[in-house]
């Protein structure tokens, strides 16, 4: 059991709730998150509990969806309100401000990436500060004119969501203020096929400026990054952008806003608030996170000289020169090159052999686990259908004999005891059959099977188990369901045997891309690198089962801090 000091430290840990506007795996979310976490890790030495909520407010805006989030967050953080809330981007900030008193009353707010007007409105409220951004439309526009003087036409591309329409209006106003003679056309919300056709057939003297493309006019959702990559394939014309997440995926560059830099600044403000500073005394920052950046590969494709770039430009993805790559090797002469080539060839052969051996070992491990499950299924069926039925029949026969020998108290009592023993043995066989192979998994599905396992675990170990399940894909393949079930079963077993936790939570849910499983205990914790051989085999089994389901597993634990196991398995095609 954790010591009193350890329990007090866990209870007193600071908690941050980060509310992301977009869905889980968007590239710009990764940039923001990397920046926020780097500042928190560098500036805050105490224990910090970071909770992440992906609101997905760009794609879902209906009132029922919003009410669901309000109730969920209100319930989830009612017992222990967070020390700070960090909403990221416009919809998340607007949602937080509108429902603040219901969900996070009196909790400080540090927002990340809000336009200037919204940032000022938010900062006027008590206990609110944050990081604002500006889009350097004029800077990118001038860069296009400078690098492509022959191009007399600019096509500005954007989606048609409410947020994107606002960005389009801001771009129109900024370009209008430039009094340019260049012909500017705004294309808003075209379906992808029509957009790519328009790009492919555009005049050769056309340049493109991509804002964001998350939703078209008929409500279809996209990823801006995917659209940009497809555009760069469909057309040889230059494509520019306004934020650096797109750099390296098809845009030439521009005067780009940095999502990671914005995240770093928000993380620094959060550290200051957690250390006691008042948010209302901290001014809004973030307007200086713009850099003029370019992709060297795109510049080369368009025959744009590096000498023509604006002063202070950052050029990424540059190919090293021949001398930078091979100059020092040339100095050693032909003999050294031949020797090195032989060494490289040997290393490649060895690597190929090692990869082949590892692949064979993984395949063998998968076959062993599959064979083990087949054998378990056979044994469970035999025990349930044969042995259990025979024991039940014997118990009935003993009961009949008990009735016949009522006049003989000794025989009557002995037969009654025999009947009770047979019934108990029959119950034990049923229980052992369920442990060997969960027939409920085949009959009722993963969610019901896990719920049943949690109930049995709670009764058996006298541990409070909280099970939550969202909607899962229909017709989930048996092998995927079985892998997730066995992982949860092993994690519960470890929690009972090693953690000595009084509470365990099991959460199972899915989105359009992944099935998520999380098992958390609040017990002793352990060092995953230094676990015992027996415990290590259990962890290895969980990792192997996750690999067989083409998923990933992460195990987080420290001595005295409990353990959390998260599994992410892709939804099979056609099952979402």
Q: State how far the Cα of 309 lies from the Cα of 316, in Å rounded to an integer.
A: 13
Q: State how far the Cα of 162 lies from the Cα of 167, in Å rounded to an integer.
A: 9
Tokens of 545: 């089962």
The pLDDT of residue 548 is 80
Q: State how far the Cα of 441 lies from the Cα of 487, in Å rounded to an integer.
A: 14
The model's pLDDT over 332-377, given as tens digits with 9 standing for 90+, comes to 777 878 888 888 888 888 887 787 765 655 555 555 555 555 555 5
The model's pLDDT over 219-242, given as tens digits with 9 standing for 90+, comes to 898 889 999 999 988 888 999 999
The pLDDT of residue 276 is 93
The pLDDT of residue 10 is 52
Residue 118, classed as helix, strand or coil, is helix
**What mean pLDDT comes out for the span 520-529?**
82
Residue 47, classed as helix, strand or coil, is coil
Residue 301, classed as helix, strand or coil, is helix
State the first-to-last Cα distance of the chain, in angstroms, to the nearest integer.
42
The pLDDT of residue 513 is 87
CB 542 within 8 A of CB 565: yes
Q: Given a cut of 50, is residue 384 above it in pLDDT?
A: no
Give the bridge partners for 255, in sequence order: 292
Q: Give the chain's largest Cα–Cα span.
A: 115
Q: State how far the Cα of 167 lies from the Cα of 173, in Å rounded to an integer.
A: 10
Question: Which one-letter DSSP state was computed for residue 321?
Answer: P
Q: Where are the beta strands (DSSP E) in 90-236?
A: 109-114, 128-132, 153-158, 183-188, 206-210
Q: State how far the Cα of 278 lies from the Cα of 272, in Å rounded to an integer.
A: 8
Distances (CA, A) of 208 to 242, 250, 300, 301: 12, 11, 17, 15
**What mean pLDDT comes out for the span 170-190?**
91
* Selected residue with higher pLDDT from 479 and 508: 508
**Which candidate, 174, 314, 184, places its Cα nearest to that of 244?**
314
Q: Given a cut of 70, is residue 171 above it in pLDDT?
A: yes
Q: State how far the Cα of 570 lies from the Cα of 554, in Å rounded to an integer.
A: 15
**What mean pLDDT comes out for the span 137-166?**
92
Reported confidence tier of residue 480, pLDDT bands at 50, 70, 90 = confident
**Which candidate, 168, 201, 170, 197, places its Cα nearest to that of 185?**
168
The mean pLDDT of the chain is 83
Burial 381-402 (b: 16+ CB within 10 A, else e): eebbeebbeebeebbeebbebb
The pLDDT of residue 108 is 97
The pLDDT of residue 111 is 97
- Phi, psi (deg, nearest 5) at residue 526: -165, 165
The model's pLDDT over 65-123, given as tens digits with 9 standing for 90+, comes to 999 999 999 999 999 999 999 999 999 999 999 999 999 999 999 999 999 999 999 99
Task: Look at the alpha carbons of 3, 7, 8, 9 in this order and tell me if their dihedral is positive or negative.
Answer: positive
Reported confidence tier of residue 35, pLDDT bands at 50, 70, 90 = very high
Q: Given a cut of 70, is residue 7 above it in pLDDT?
A: no
Q: C-alpha 268: how far from its chain's center?
A: 23
CB 576 within 8 A of CB 512: yes
Distances (CA, A) of 210 to 164, 246, 282, 312: 11, 9, 34, 23
The model's pLDDT over 136-148, given as tens digits with 9 standing for 90+, comes to 999 999 999 999 9
Half-sphere exposure of 77 (CA within 13 A, CB side): 26
Strand order in the sheet with 464-469: 464-469, 503-510, 514-521, 563-570, 552-557
CB 526 within 8 A of CB 537: no
Reported confidence tier of residue 533, pLDDT bands at 50, 70, 90 = very low
The pLDDT of residue 437 is 55
**Which candidate, 269, 317, 325, 230, places its Cα nearest to that of 131?**
269
For tokens 């609110």, the residue is 128
Q: State how far the Cα of 494 lies from the Cα of 504, in Å rounded to an integer.
A: 11
């Amino acid at each position: 059991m954790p010591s009193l000091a350890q329990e007090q430290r866990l209870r007193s840990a600071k908690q941050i709730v980060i509310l992301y506007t977009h869905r889980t795996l968007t590239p710009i979310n990764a940039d923001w998150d990397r920046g926020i976490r780097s500042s928190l890790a560098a500036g805050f030495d105490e224990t910090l509990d970071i909770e992440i909520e992906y609101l997905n407010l760009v794609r879902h805006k209906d009132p029922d969806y919003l009410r669901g989030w309000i109730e969920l967050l209100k319930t989830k953080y009612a017992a222990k309100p967070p020390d700070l809330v960090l909403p990221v981007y416009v919809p998340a900030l607007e949602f937080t401000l509108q429902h603040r008193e219901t969900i996070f009353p009196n909790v400080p707010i540090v927002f990340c990436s809000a336009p200037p007007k919204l940032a000022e409105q938010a900062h006027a409220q008590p206990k609110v500060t944050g990081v604002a951004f500006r889009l350097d439309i004029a800077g990118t526009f001038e860069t296009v004119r400078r690098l492509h003087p022959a191009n007399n036409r600019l096509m500005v591309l954007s989606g048609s969501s409410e947020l994107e329409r606002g960005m389009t209006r801001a771009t129109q106003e900024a370009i209008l203020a430039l009094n340019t003679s260049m012909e500017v056309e705004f294309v808003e919300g075209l379906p992808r096929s029509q957009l790519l056709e328009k790009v492919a057939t555009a005049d050769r003297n056309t340049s493109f400026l991509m804002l964001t493309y998350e939703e078209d006019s008929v409500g279809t959702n996209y990823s801006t990054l995917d659209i940009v990559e497809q555009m760069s394939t469909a057309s040889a014309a230059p494509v520019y952008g306004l934020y650096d997440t797109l750099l390296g995926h098809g845009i030439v560059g521009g005067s780009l806003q940095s999502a990671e830099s914005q995240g770093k600044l928000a993380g620094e403000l959060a550290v200051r608030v957690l250390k006691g500073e008042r948010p209302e005394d901290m001014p809004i920052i973030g307007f200086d996170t713009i850099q003029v950046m370019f992709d060297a590969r795109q510049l080369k494709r368009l025959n744009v000289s590096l000498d023509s770039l604006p002063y202070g430009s950052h050029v990424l993805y540059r190919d090293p020169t021949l001398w930078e790559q091979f100059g020092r090797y040339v100095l050693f002469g032909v003999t050294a090159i031949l020797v090195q080539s032989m060494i490289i060839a040997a290393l490649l052969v060895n690597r190929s052999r090692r990869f082949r051996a590892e692949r064979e070992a993984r395949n063998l491990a998968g076959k062993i686990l599959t064979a083990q499950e087949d054998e378990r299924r056979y044994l469970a069926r035999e025990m349930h259908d044969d042995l259990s039925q025979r024991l039940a029949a014997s118990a009935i026969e003993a009961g009949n004999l008990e009735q016949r020998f009522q006049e003989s108290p000794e025989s009557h009592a002995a037969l009654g005891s025999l009947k009770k023993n047979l019934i108990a043995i029959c119950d034990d066989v049923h229980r052992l059959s369920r442990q060997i192979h969960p027939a409920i998994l085949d009959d009722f599905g993963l969610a019901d099977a896990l719920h049943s396992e949690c109930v049995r675990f709670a009764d058996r170990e006298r541990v409070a188990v909280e099970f939550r399940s969202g909607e899962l894909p229909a017709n989930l393949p048996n092998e995927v369901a079985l892998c997730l079930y066995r992982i949860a079963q092993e994690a519960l077993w470890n929690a009972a045997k090693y953690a000595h936790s009084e509470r365990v939570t099991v959460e199972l849910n899915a989105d359009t891309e992944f099935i998520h499983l999380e098992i958390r205990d609040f017990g002793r914790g352990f060092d995953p690198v230094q676990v015992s051989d027996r415990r290590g085999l259990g962890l290895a089994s969980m990792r192997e089962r996750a690999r067989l389901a083409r998923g990933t597993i992460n195990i987080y634990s420290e001595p005295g801090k409990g353990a959390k196991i998260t599994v992410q398995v892709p939804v099979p095609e056609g099952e979402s």
